Structure 1
Amino acid sequence: MAITIRNKTTEDLIRQIGRRTGEEPGAVIERLVKAEAGRDRIDEVPEEKVRRRMAVFEELDRKYPYRGPKLSWEEIKAEMDSIFEDELNQR
């Protein structure tokens, strides 16, 4: 199945990469898609990052104890995700 890219800038980037690597546009796309597919899924955070994130969260909790109503785990998880959103987007 052929895929048509309707974005001139993206097409130019694919061709530029192909000239640099000696690949046809289809090969460039295939290689990049396979590399992306091989990465960890965004919702699978490595254990080391979990430990670092929890240490930051626990330190913040010690410094600034929460005095409001008790939060559910889903509310806490959403708050932690927002703290580390930039890190997730950099993957």
Structure 2
Amino acid sequence: MLSALVALLLLSREYRYQPTGGLRVVKSDYQLSAQWLSEEGELENEQPVNADYVGPWLIGLRVGPQRLWLWPDSLPAHSQRALRRLCHRPGR
């Protein structure tokens, strides 16, 4: 019972601190970086991006210290294809 309560508190905290707005990802040479675009239209500081999981249905990104999972319905199809092209490493 106690472990279920702790898990519920941790999940609610993660949900509450999920980023909102848009994520602008750019690639220069072999490095990905991103900036959050707030709902007010302001760009935040640029942060390094590491795509550590690119599966057929799910993309796992680390944007600075944050962990971000992108599901197929979390962005338009053309944006998802563009992000997959950015994250693709030749030979993998």
TM-score (norm 2): 0.23
TM-score by length of 1: 0.23
Structure (1 or 2) with the larger CA radius of gyration: 1
Q: Which has the higher contact order (CA 8 A, sep 6+)?
A: 1
